[in-house]
Each structure stands twice: as structure tokens, then as C-alpha cells.
Structure 1
Amino acid sequence: MTLATLPTAVIAEDEPVLARTLTRLLEQVWPELRIVGVADDGLRATELALALVPDVVFLDIKMPGRTGIEVAEVVADDWPDDRAEPLFVFITAYDNFAVPAFERAAVDYLLKPATADRLQQSVARLKARLAGRAASPDAGNMAALMQRMQSLTAPDIAETDSRERLKVIRAGVGNTVRMIPVADVVCFEATEKYVNVVTPTGEALVRMSLRELMARIDSTDFIQVHRSVMVNSNAIMSATRDENGHYSLSVRGLQRPLKVSRAFGHLFRPM
């Protein structure tokens, strides 16, 4: 391995002693890992991660300025399109953040104080994920993911012609099957195995990939605003930009705002 190919990491920890301890333990269990930056608050952690584009980010959760969960969300939104998104590991003294951490696609969640044995298990998971990316570069390549997502609105003719276009989506909610007209859908949100179909009257999951679903409906009214979110353009009422340049959408029939990732912010700039 050359210096340029060694894995890199950023550590975010607001307690200097714990930051030094984690660095020392990582040197023991993963000697080839290069620690390229250490931040003592959430804002600095965001800056370092986006500037240094490391392979791994170790995040404390409760930090000044921005929580570790918030750091992961911002970093993922603003990550360069041509680089694989970093692997996140959360390290905290609180066990009640595990669910939101794994919702942020965390590779691992460690409780303080991290031990060498427990950290070794985490390192093994990280190495396996990085090795998988190396074996299949497109699996972690955001540019390729963006291209695949963009193609949702223009599926292969052979694929669409072989299936009848869906006018109504059949979504199971408990023991009930909801019949949801496509025209009533506010947005589609992709998860790992499902698509969340959002309407003004509720939400329902369908076990289908977003690509497959978009290929089977008339998707001309839907636009992509995030890596895994397609919004009905007819339902968008306004777009608001915050001080960091991020847009959020006010959508008719939806109580919560929808975040727009930086890659699609240009769609909402004033004409």
C-alpha cells in the first residue's frame, strides 16, 4: 500500500483526553489507518470531513455546535459526487441514540469508554466495507448512484413496455391494502428495501425499489431532490434557503419540510 491508498479517518470528540485515547487505540488495532484530522466540535468536524474527504468518520454524538447525528447528515448531503460517502462510526456515552445513528447508516455504535477489543470488532467491519468498495467501486460511488437515480425518470423502453403502467399503488398498512392513486402521491422516499409512499392523508410502504416503481408509473411529474427522494413537482409550494445554502421544500399536504441535497439545489435557484 502506498501513502495515497492507505485508509483515512477524521475523529470528532470534544474531550481531548478521549480523542487522544481513541487515536492511540486506533494506532494499535489499525496501524495502517491515517488519522488526517481531529475536531473538538460538530461544526469543525463537518468542515474537516468535507475538506479532507476521509474514508471513515468517528463521531461523538453530543458535541458543541452540532451533534454527531447532524454532522453525519450534513456531510452526507454535501459530500462530493465523485467520492464514496464516508463510513460513520458513532462513539458516545449515551445508548439512547443507537436508533437514529443506525438510521444514518452507521457502520457501528460504540459506548464510551471504547476498549481495544470492542474497537477491533468495529475495525473489522470497516475493513470489510472498504474491501467491498474496492472490489466493486461503483457500490460506493456517489456519482454512479446519482446517474442511476437520474435514470429513474427515463427507464428503459423495453422495461416499461413489458409492464402495464400503474395508475394506482397498492400499499399494505397492517391488514389493510390502501389503493393510492399515483396523482395523489406527494413524494416517494426510498429506504433499503422499501419505498415510502407519502400522500396528504398518510404514508405507506411498498416492497419495491424506487427505480422499479418509477419505471412502472408516469413519472414525468416527479423530480429528484435528494439521493433517495422523488417529489411531485405539482405539490411543491416554495423552496427556502438557509444560511448554509441548503434548500428545504414546503410541499402541499405535507406537514414536514423536505430537504434538498446540494446536488439538486440548482433546481430551486431564482430565475
Structure 2
Amino acid sequence: MPTAIIADDEDLPRTELRRMLADVWPELQILAECEYGTEALEAIQQHQPDIAFLDIRMPGLSGLDVAEAIKGNCHAVFVTAYDNHALEAFTAAAMDYLLKPLSRQRLQETVSRLQGRLATDQPTMDVAKLMRELDSRLRSAAAVERIRWISASVGDTIKMFPVEKILFFVSDEKYTRVVSSDDEAHVRKPLRELMAGLDPDQFWQIHRSVVVRADAIVKAYRDDAGKVTVELRGSKERLRVSLAYAWRFRPM
């Protein structure tokens, strides 16, 4: 019996996809439904499904991040609301994708391809090419006004951090720790909200709770267990890289 997980941060699209899959592929067993990319990654590692239906935009890890992290473990189908221009990258990379709102005919075509791959035991596709082609397009689509300063209250003092001097951010429950080369403080805004105003070319997420300044990275270390940590210029701390973001530090 073929198996799958569904990952989408909105309830209605998850429910609709499950309903439509039950109609066009009743033999397919849905093992888990996930709201966040990190949940999807954990569900894939736990259940080892044949297929993962992944929304592109999810809090924390995107569908692309999840697919890169689980490369080779299951077939990925991307669910997206991007326009046709962005979707050219999916076609160029020969990746399966479903465009929102979902079409029964389009879903049936995708299911037929998946059934063929599973029947002939075809290898899963490499998402790296897609990530390279989509990267600039997705960033442009998500462009917003960038944060220039971050202010933090410390007692009766307000500390001002220019973004260009910040080395990294660490989520700390309801707060976010902001660290520069010579100071640090906590702000009341969660990391996810801060990320929306940060330039993704300048700040890389390397863990669900850590974002670092890319040009401050000096070295990345991989231990015997394959776990990666990074060293930043101006900081004595080593920051852990989660499995989902380890692809950023693979040799060229």
C-alpha cells in the first residue's frame, strides 16, 4: 500500500488535498498531516512514506528545505500558489508540482506519474537544481520592506542594533536574542516575524531557532556523526546547523 504525508500551514488546503487524493487514489494511505516544515521533516523521518506533498511556503522550513533535507528518502510533490513564471523552474527540473487551487485533472496526472515511479522503483529526483533555479524567483516574490534597525529595551535603556552589525538571532521562547560583535539583547518579537523583514541573501536560517549573517560565517565543522556547526567572525559561540539546512554547507 503506497503511503504519503501532507504538509501545509493552512487547514483548508490540507483537507482539500486529502479529500481529492482519497477520490483519485483511494489506495494511498496518508500517514500524517503537518502544519510546519519541521513537523514534516520529523514525520518523514518517523514514518518513511513513499511520497511527501509539500507546500512551498511554510513557517520555519519551506517545502524546498524539507525536500533537500530528505533527498533520496521519498518522492516530493510541491504544492504552490506561485505564478507560471516561477513554475517554469519546476518544469525545467522535471519536478512534480500542484498549483493552488487544486485541479482534479492535474492531480490525476501527478498521481499517474507517481504510480509509475513506484511501480518501476524509479529513484527520487534531485531537488538541488530546482532550488538553484527557484531561489531568485521565490525571493523576489516574497520581497518586503527590509528592517534597518532593531531596538531592544534593557531596563531604562533602549539599545539600537543596526542590521548590518548583527551576527545572529536565536529564538528564546517568547523572545529573540539579538547578538552583534560587541553587544546583545532580547527583543519581544518572535524570530519568525523578524525573518520576514530580513534580507534572505544576507541572513541564512541554519536551524529552526537560529538565523546567522551569511558573510560573518568563517568556517563550518562536521563531526564524526555528521552534525554541522558554524563559527562566526566576531563571536566565540559555535552555532548548530540542523539537518534541514545542512545542504548550505556541502562542498561545491
TM-score of the aligned structures, taking structure 1 as reference length? 0.46
TM-score of the aligned structures, taking structure 2 as reference length? 0.50
Larger RCO: 1 or 2 (CA < 8 Å, sep 6+): 2
Computing the radius of gyration from Cα coordinates, the structure with the larger value is 1
* Structure with more of its chain in helix, by fraction: 1
